[in-house]
Structure 1
Amino acid sequence: MNVAVEQTAPAETAQQARARSRRRLACITGASAAAITLLAFTSYWLTTGRYLESTEDAYIRADWVALSPRVAGYVAKVEVDDDQPVTAGDVLVRLQDRDYQARLDQAQARVAEARAALAAAQASQQVAAERINQRKQAIVQAQAALHSAIAERQRSVLDMQRYRALVRDDGATVQRLESASAAASQAEAAVQGTQAALREQRSQLAMANAQATQADAELKQQEAALAHAQARQVLAGQDQHDTVIRAPLDGVVGQRRVRAGQYVVPGQPLLAVVPVQQAYVVANYKETQLAHMQPGQPVEIRVDTFAGQPLHGRVASFSPASGNVFALLPSDNATGNFTKIVQRFPVRILLDKPLDGPHVLPGMSVVTTVDTRPAEVADAH
């Protein structure tokens, strides 16, 4: 029996040795794997990980437009359905335009009337100008007649003086002197008549000038009336044109609340156009993550809907203030009980969407990771 025990003991010792060897090998292997993993993680952290800034507080956004009518009226027809893609310029809603077309026709008639009145005022102005020219010519003629009458008066006075001397010397008859005296009197009367005619012509010229001034005023009044009528025509045309509501940009119709036969008023929301092809990401990063962020840095975007299809983009811009500053009721930290809270700043990220990439929609939740490595470091890796 002692011999059997002695033979079994070496066998057990060999098995324990092999077990210890396996455990030692497993420990060495595990330690090596851990060291390699730690080394790989350290290398990744030093070269890449420490430059990556990530946040889950990010969403897809789009600058959608809510469309409202500029004029009141009944809806004649709704040209689009819910979730229908549209392009800029497509007709979305038509309002009944009978009243607005009638107002446009009335405004056009008033413009035609104002133009006719303006033409009449222009004709009156031309008549007044011709009347002034006529009076000026009449004044020239009256002045010439006055000069002639003065010259005739002077000649008659000299004749009378000469015949008076001849009568005194018995060189002429008294009858001849009386004829010369009568001619002098007639010449004096002619001078007075031509002076009166000249004064009359000057008075008529002043009247013609006043009429011309009145014609000018009427012309300006008619020009103002035409401008007013044309402005009303433009407004009527704009109102008639605004009965057709068109898409301001490419997008998809949403929030369609308008129906045919409905009465709408200016400013009433009818539907929205969402430019899904112009979607972007707004990521709210902590202020402690912004130290090395710059516009143009690459971003990896993982949409919750398409978790296995990462998208890529670029940092576009940073908000000029934190979200708390733009809040309706911003917090007031000037109190005795103050707790420091890390603020978040919205960062706009533009998508580099490939043609065959996933279709992202505004409102989807995403996870963004910004690579803040310097360009030379990123290129090296």
Structure 2
Amino acid sequence: MAGIKKGRLVPILAGGVAAVAVAVGGGLWWIDKQKYEKTDNAFVAADKVTIAPLVDGYVAEVLVDDNQAVRPGQVLVRIDPATLKARLAQAEANAQALEAAVSAVDDKARLEQAMIAQKAAAVESAHAQASWADSELKRYGALAREGWVSPQRAQTARNAQEQAIAGVSQAKAALEAERRVAQSLGSAKDQSLAQAAAARAAAEQTRIDLSRTEIRAPVAGVVGARGVRVGQYVRPGGALMSLVPLADAYVVANFKETQVARLRIGQPVTIHADAFGDEAIKGRIESFAPATGAEFALIPVENAVGNFTKITQRLPVRIAIDPNQKLAGGLRPGLSLEVKVDVTRDTGPSFAESGGRPTRFARQGATQ
């Protein structure tokens, strides 16, 4: 009996240990489940910038290498500027010619003002001549009626008076013609000014295009996907390389829709990257996406069919990385991650309260 009891004791003890282990493990799992929400459907992302030229031409220099860190404003590529320099010289010469045309119109306008003054003086002179001829006609007419002078002399005075009146009309017409010429010069000046402004704008545009032959880094980052080479002919919009701002990398974690109810903006997040082994990185929830990942797919899922099967959807959650960590700058976009959110922290708005609107709470918390 003692041997049988001893033989039964080992399984009983083993079963007891197993039961205790299951109980302890289940308890730990339950505690962990209540405190954290986890997902391994997460990756590193960054707002990379595609570098493309704004002018066409042949590449004269490529001043960066693959995987090189660059600072904002640093020259990345130079395009041969010879053609644009020639265009700029031509545009500037054209602008100068049109500005000279404006000056010529001004000079002619001043000359016309002098001519108008001269014609106005001629009108005054014609009026004076007409007045004198009228007085002569009156005097000789009276003398002719009294028989002191011959009728021919009176007729001569009448002819002179008519010529003087015609001279007044002629002088007035000449004055009006000069005034009309002056008005036309005003219109010609406006046209010349518009043409000169267009020429200056064209020269400025060419000057801008010339400055764009030096392609500079818009942000700080690391060069990637460099496909440009010296001698290559490039066109506006063609991708030359990409800049990845590693310092501004963030995490996109896709949580199941059954998990997001307990998530809040600002909650602390522990991040594990396969590339870093067991070392953890700290972060905070920054915002919730406005739709599930399926809504942004190239081919949206059509659920209005008869064979519909409910599938748990995932919602992208953006997580800001605390910058004051030695591994923060080592994350590369595309790396796989496992994230764990401490949902016991009652911080910012919840998923339902935020409405998908990003706030400054998490960004401020990440810098503390």
Task: Tell me the TM-score normalized by structure 1.
Answer: 0.76
Instruction: Report how far residue 182 of structure 1 moved.
Output: 7.3
Residues 1:142 and 1:316: Cα distance change in structure 2 (over 3 Å): farther
The separation in 2 between residues aligned to 1:366 and 1:318, in whole angstroms, is 18
Deviations 1:266-297 (A, max 9, x none): 32222111111111111112222222434333
Name the counterpart of 1:103: 87
Mapped pair 1:363 → 2:347: no
Residues 1:64 and 1:183: Cα distance change in structure 2 (over 3 Å): same
Instruction: Report how far residue 119 of structure 1 moved.
Output: 1.2
The separation in 2 between residues aligned to 1:34 and 1:331, in whole angstroms, is 41
Query: What letter matches 1:114 in structure 2?
Result: L
Name the counterpart of 1:315: 285
Instruction: Report how far residue 144 of structure 1 moved.
Output: 4.9
> Structure 2 stretches of 5 or more lacking a match?
349-368
Mapped pair 1:343 → 2:290: no
The separation in 2 between residues aligned to 1:152 and 1:341, in whole angstroms, is 119
Task: Tell me which moved more, 329-338 or 228-237.
Answer: 228-237
The separation in 2 between residues aligned to 1:287 and 1:274, in whole angstroms, is 31
The separation in 1 between residues aligned to 2:91 and 2:277, in whole angstroms, is 61
Name the counterpart of 1:196: 166
Give 1:130's match in structure 2, choosing from 111, 114, 117: 114
Deviations 1:84-130 (A, max 9, x none): 11001111111222222122222222222222122112222232233
Give 2:302's match in structure 1, choosing from 328, 332, 351: 332
Give 2:269's match in structure 1, choosing from 299, 302, 308: 299
Report if aligned partners of 2:282, 2:322 keep a CA contact under 8 Å in 1.
yes
Query: What letter matches 1:362 in structure 2?
Result: P
Aligned CA RMSD, in angstroms, stands at 3.5
Residues 1:360 and 1:40: Cα distance change in structure 2 (over 3 Å): closer
Report if aligned partners of 1:302, 1:368 keep a CA contact under 8 Å in 2.
yes
Instruction: Report how far residue 53 of structure 1 moved.
Output: 2.4
Instruction: Report how far residue 41 of structure 1 moved.
Output: 7.3
Secondary structure of residue in 2 paired with 1:211: helix
Deviations 1:182-238 (A, max 9, x none): 776565445423321221122112211231233223222322322232232123222
Residues 1:59 and 1:182: Cα distance change in structure 2 (over 3 Å): same
Name the counterpart of 1:285: 255
Residues 1:40 and 1:335: Cα distance change in structure 2 (over 3 Å): closer
Give 2:105's match in structure 1, choosing from 121, 137, 141: 121
Residues 1:37 and 1:64: Cα distance change in structure 2 (over 3 Å): closer
The separation in 2 between residues aligned to 1:33 and 1:338, in whole angstroms, is 42
Name the counterpart of 1:9: none
Name the counterpart of 2:64: 80
The separation in 2 between residues aligned to 1:221 and 1:129, in whole angstroms, is 20
Query: What letter matches 1:105 in structure 2?
Result: A
Instruction: Report how far residue 139 of structure 1 moved.
Output: 3.0
Query: What letter matches 1:260 in structure 2?
Result: V
Report if aligned partners of 1:311, 1:353 keep a CA contact under 8 Å in 2.
no
Deviations 1:34-57 (A, max 9, x none): 989888877x56xxx535322211
Mapped pair 1:59 → 2:30: no
The separation in 2 between residues aligned to 1:59 and 1:254, in whole angstroms, is 19
Report if aligned partners of 2:250, 2:318 keep a CA contact under 8 Å in 1.
yes
Report if aligned partners of 1:125, 1:219 keep a CA contact under 8 Å in 2.
no
The separation in 2 between residues aligned to 1:50 and 1:36, in whole angstroms, is 15
Percent of aligned positions with the same letter in both sequences?
A: 38
Residues 1:85 and 1:197: Cα distance change in structure 2 (over 3 Å): same
The separation in 2 between residues aligned to 1:322 and 1:242, in whole angstroms, is 40
Secondary structure of residue in 2 paired with 1:305: helix
The separation in 1 between residues aligned to 2:111 and 2:79, in whole angstroms, is 50
Report if aligned partners of 2:221, 2:247 keep a CA contact under 8 Å in 1.
yes
Secondary structure of residue in 1 paired with 2:338: strand
The separation in 1 between residues aligned to 2:112 and 2:341, in whole angstroms, is 81
Query: What letter matches 1:78 in structure 2?
Result: V
Task: Tell me which moved more, 134-143 or 282-291.
Answer: 134-143
Report if aligned partners of 1:75, 1:96 keep a CA contact under 8 Å in 2.
yes
Residues 1:247 and 1:150: Cα distance change in structure 2 (over 3 Å): same
Residues 1:131 and 1:316: Cα distance change in structure 2 (over 3 Å): farther
Name the counterpart of 1:248: 218
Residues 1:304 and 1:32: Cα distance change in structure 2 (over 3 Å): closer
Indicate the structure (1 or 2) with the bigger Cα radius of gyration: 1
Query: What letter matches 1:308 in structure 2?
Result: D
Secondary structure of residue in 1 paired with 2:166: helix
